[in-house]
Amino acid sequence: MIQLDHVSVRRDGATLLASVSLSVGAEVVALVGPSGAGKSTLVRVILGLDHPAAGTLRIGGRIVSQDGRHNVLPEERNVAVVFQDLALWPHLSVHDNLAYGLKGRALTKAVRAQRITAALAWMGMIDKARRRPHELSGGERQRVAIARALVLDPVALLLDEPLGNLDVLLKDELLGTFAKLFRERGLPVLYVTHDPHEARQLAQRVVVLENGRVTQSAGWSELEREPATAFVRAFTRAR
């Protein structure tokens, strides 16, 4: 589980997150909100790239940050992330992109190979293992990015608008793949999006962040039926 209790982040005199409390269990939670709401800051806090001024962050039951005094390094949190730009190594094959993330881990060669094969199989990319990113379609590159995250066997997965650059038909295909995969893996997944369709199709719960505060946390049907703010009302009615 990812659990934030009254987490606040301040920078240059501005409050970016104001006493945010939320938890993500073995589910997909969509994080939505207007630009500047604090979504990227919250992702950076979980990854360990931003340090809260107050509050407690637990990952997998372990306190990784508490009132700015106790911090576990990003590389020790075992949280995987996929950003919109994917950040695949262009000079490496699909296989070697996955293998790169395993460098420095105390794993045998056989275990590394097993993990890579399993991750590629989950994403249907076994036959593309020797190709480089420029030889793949946009959807295939997305699949590689997810496989590269899962090969790390993370305790939680963060996705920051991973489908933002894809067309609608390809989005629907990948959303179906993601939904099946995340359900089978049982990981805590925090999925940042600005797209109501993605939030509705993929997430069991939607957390709404506005001005650095959580204004609503509910399933899609409740958001539609009882929107807490004008933003939620507009978001659920957008097409």
Number of domains present in the structure of the chain: 1
* Of residues 49, 50, 48, 19, the one with CA closest to residue 58: 48
Residue 70 CB burial class (10 angstroms; 0-12, 13-18, ≥19) = exposed
* Per-residue pLDDT, 86: 80
Give a yes or no: residue 18 inside a domain. no
In angstroms, the Cα distances linking 128 to 86, 117, 133 are: 17, 11, 10
Q: Taking the model in full, what pTM does it have?
A: 0.90
* Of residues 82, 100, 91, 84, the one with CA closest to residue 134: 91
Q: What is the pLDDT of residues 30-84, one digit of tens each?
A: 999 999 999 999 999 999 999 899 999 999 989 999 988 778 888 889 999 988 7
Give a yes or no: residue 203 inside a domain. no
Report the distance separating Cα 71 and Cα 80, nearest Å. 17
Give a yes or no: residue 35 inside a domain. no
Give a yes or no: residue 207 inside a domain. no
In angstroms, the Cα distances linking 135 to 60, 92, 94, 132, 145 are: 37, 11, 10, 6, 15
Give a yes or no: residue 212 inside a domain. no
Domain boundaries, position 98: 82-153
* Per-residue pLDDT, 102: 85
Q: Residue 239 above 70 pLDDT?
A: no
